[in-house]
A = this chain, B = another copy of it.
């Protein structure tokens, strides 16, 4: 894993340093948007231009059909067991590209060059690749570790602001569950970070990756520590599911989910009032989170903890102070409902404040998309 500036412009020689001579066929899986912005820079360091394969943007293209199309294009272009694949794009490009590399001729080496903040933090650890089925997300895939990951901070310069902020929610999460110092850094340097100061971003990315790698490594025997990475995800996933993954970015849903979880943690006194306020303030600092108009009952049902299933409430991650977290199994439906209502009330306030301060210093809220439970 290398994080820094100017990596894409020098990628060819950097990859050679890792794997030796470049093979006869080098494939780049990327999106048309990223390639339009960065294709020329990308090609500069390759003596022979790589073969570009496009994957259209969007979760709906994260399918077996896309993978088969890529595989066939690779065969047609003369790909063989020695070929190399570079996944150059966001999380979907990384997942689909990595899975394509995992199964082409029973596996060829690949390199990740993630272009979103979220992918830069995520793709370095775990080697998870895969696609969706109509029945659900990430149901198909392989563990296939990239030979190297090059996270170019400079590329984040063209990342839409909303995506940067959503990605930063994962770093907020990292700080809250495991890294008090990161919390303080993100509180004190929000302006540099949001203005994409390379040094500030590099520090946040490095700390987030370190946290994740540390947790995953310590959990190799499935001790359960890894579960804490799901902080904010129980209700976050429920929001995504109820809005059919079409309204919020993943990080935004996790942001709201963390606010709901803070409420439960506060009620259970694993965090103090001032800690709860401080952490919620940090989440909003990297917002705005889009407004929500959902039914609390529907959200609770989507967590799998509905009334038919009272005994089966899933494991839930709660912060313990700032910089630590634990897993509990006894969160009740009543608690979940109260937390969802608290979160939805906050969302209503946010929507109001975004409307009343259109000229404020904060970046404009994303288009207020309102999903009702009945949609």
Contact = CB atoms under 8 A, between A and B. Distances in A.
A103 interface: yes
Contacts of A135: 72, 75-76
Is chain A's interface secondary structure helix, strand, loop, or mixed overall? mixed
A58 interface: no
A103 B133 contact: no
A306 B106 CA distance: 28
A282 interface: no
Interface stretch (A137-145, A170-178, A262-270, A327-335): A137-145
A38 to B, nearest CB: 29
Nearest to A134: B72
Contact of A71 (B76, B104, B139): B139
Contact of A106 (B64, B67, B105, B128): B128
Contact of A75 (B64, B75, B107, B133): B133
Given A72-B133, A133-B71, A133-B72, A105 B139 contact: yes
A68 B64 contact: yes
Interface string A119-130: 000000000101
A109 B64 CA distance: 21
A360 interface: no
Interface in A18-63: none
A140 B64 contact: no
A125 to B, nearest CB: 15
12 contacts: A64-B67, A68-B133, A68-B140, A71-B133, A71-B139, A75-B133, A75-B135, A103-B130, A103-B141, A103-B142, A106-B140, A107-B142
